[in-house]
């Protein structure tokens, strides 16, 4: 007797009425009407490949480390990306191209590349989330961004099920930005990402944050592994661990303003940091602005602004998504009233808000 083709329900794991609390680093409770878990690209095509299936989709969920649930219930379907696997695509004496499935957890993937002696991802150590989400906002830290190492992104087009492969140039990476936040927003489900890494003659970046100082203090020569270790130590000392204190990393983007707006801010606050950009605009430090407005360490119920890093909003345990979102909006309004600067969330709002 022929074995029947697996149905969508058999291939995709389905669960109803699921609390997403364990699936977001803010630790916020949000009851999802329906969750489908995809473990293969075909599952993703089954879940979003038709107009009807795509219209039912309310969220593509990776590691949940860059999300804020603004409501306590979510209707429709959540597609949880759990595609696993990683392998070498090609290599020379100098370099290697590796591919990882979208659901691979990012930091263990970085550690795997380092164990193999490959350089390129060390500065991006300890960032929470999945491999497949790194291209979405061009994840970056300590002078390196996804755009510096990513060569290809494979994704399923929502509504048609077509599979596309974009080069890094196609992805139009920018500061916390890419086509996946622009023209392809809510139209693509990333299934795999490729990275170009070095086997020797590594390009080491140590001049950002306190990486240099950390290496010097420990008397260690820069290498991909030692830079990773330094970045891990620095991040642990500065940022709250989501396992202990719910948070989503930097809640706001660093705003970019015109030179005139920056001059106006300097007239109010002569020590306001500003970083000139190639296009003549100036990038400001959102955390500094929030701190100057007096919000650092502020707590309202279980929602708060982190005591060490004002850019990070935190959940002390029982805060709800709407409470965190209200606090965020109050911070935005106050910073605008005091300094005339508009802050935008870096986190993705799920359930509406903007
Ligand atoms: C403590 C902490 C520190 C952080 N530090 C940094 C940092 O230094 N630099 C930095 O850039 N970020 C940082 N972040 C933010 C976050 O870790 C990254 O943005 C990460 O890439 C998010 O991955 P995720 O899988 O958790 O995404 P999720 O939170 O699950 O999703 C984020 C967005 O991407 C979409 N998405 C998820 N998976 C896919 C997919 N397969 N295809 C298409 N869309 C998808 C979601 O729908 C959502 O809109 C930090 C977060 C925390 C909690």
Instruction: Write the pLDDT tens digit of every residue in 162-206.
Output: 999 999 999 999 988 999 999 999 999 999 999 999 999 999 999
DSSP letters of 307-321?
SS-TT-EEE-SS--H
Mean pLDDT of the chain: 94
User: What's the gap in Å between 218 CA and the centre of ligand 1?
Assistant: 31
pLDDT at 354 over 70: no
Q: Could you list the active site residues?
A: 176, 250, 346
The architecture of the domain spanning 86-238 is 2-Layer Sandwich (3.30)
CB 332 within 8 A of CB 340: no
> Does the pLDDT of residue 55 top 50, yes or no?
yes
Which of 84, 101, 129 has most ligand 1 atoms within 8 Å of CB, for mutation?
129
79 Cβ below 6 A of ligand 1: no
pLDDT in tens, 241-271: 999 999 999 999 999 999 999 999 999 999 9
8-81 has which fold?
A: 3.30.43
Q: Is 38 in the pocket of ligand 1 (CB under 6 A)?
A: no
Atom of ligand 1 nearest to the CA of 348: 49
127 lines ligand 1 (CB under 6 A): yes
Which CATH number applies to 246-350: 3.40.50.970, 3.30.2310.20, 3.90.78.10, 3.40.50.620? 3.90.78.10
CA of 52 to the centre of ligand 1 (A): 27
Domain boundaries, the chain: 8-81, 86-238, 246-350
86-238 and 246-350: identical CATH topology: no
Q: What is the DSSP string of 244-284?
A: TSEE-S--BPPPEE-HHHHHHHHHH-TT--EEE-TTS-EEE
Q: What is the average per-residue pLDDT within 135-164?
A: 97
How many angstroms does the Cα of residue 188 sit away from the middle of ligand 1?
Answer: 15
């Amino acid at each position: 007797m022929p074995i029947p083709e697996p149905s969508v329900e058999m291939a995709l794991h389905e669960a109803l009425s699921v609390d997403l609390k364990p699936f977001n680093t803010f630790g916020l409770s949000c009851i999802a009407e329906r969750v489908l878990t995809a473990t293969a690209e075909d599952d993703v095509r089954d879940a979003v490949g038709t107009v009807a299936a795509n219209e039912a989709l309310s969220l593509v969920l990776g590691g949940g480390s860059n999300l804020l649930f603004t409501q306590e219930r979510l209707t429709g379907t959540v597609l949880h990306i759990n595609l696993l696997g990683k392998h070498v695509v090609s290599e020379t004496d100098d370099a290697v191209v590796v591919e990882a499935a979208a659901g691979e957890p990012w930091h263990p993937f970085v550690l795997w590349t380092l164990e193999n002696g490959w350089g390129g991802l060390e500065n991006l150590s300890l960032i929470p989330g999945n491999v497949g989400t790194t291209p979405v906002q061009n994840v970056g830290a300590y002078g390196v961004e996804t755009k510096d190492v990513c060569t290809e992104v494979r994704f399923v087009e929502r509504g048609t099920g077509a599979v596309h492969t974009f080069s890094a140039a196609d992805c139009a990476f920018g500061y916390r930005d890419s086509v996946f936040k622009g023209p392809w927003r809510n139209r693509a489900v990333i299934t795999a990402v490729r990275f170009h890494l070095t086997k020797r003659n590594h390009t080491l970046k140590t001049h950002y944050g306190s990486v240099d100082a950390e290496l010097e203090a420990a008397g260690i020569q820069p290498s991909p592994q030692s830079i990773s270790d330094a970045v891990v130590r620095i991040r642990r000392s500065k940022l709250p661990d989501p396992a202990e204190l719910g948070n989503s990393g930097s809640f706001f983007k660093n705003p970019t303003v015109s030179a005139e707006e920056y001059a106006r801010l300097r007239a109010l606050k002569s020590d306001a940091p500003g970083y000139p950009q190639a296009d003549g605009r100036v990038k400001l430090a959102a955390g500094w602005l929030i701190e100057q407005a007096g919000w650092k360490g502020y707590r309202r119920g279980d929602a708060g602004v982190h005591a060490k890093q004002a850019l990070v909003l935190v959940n002390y345990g029982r805060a709800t998504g709407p409470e965190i979102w209200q606090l965020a909006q109050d911070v935005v309004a106050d910073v605008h009233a005091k300094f005339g600067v508009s802050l935008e969330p870096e986190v993705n709002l799920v359930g509406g808000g903007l």
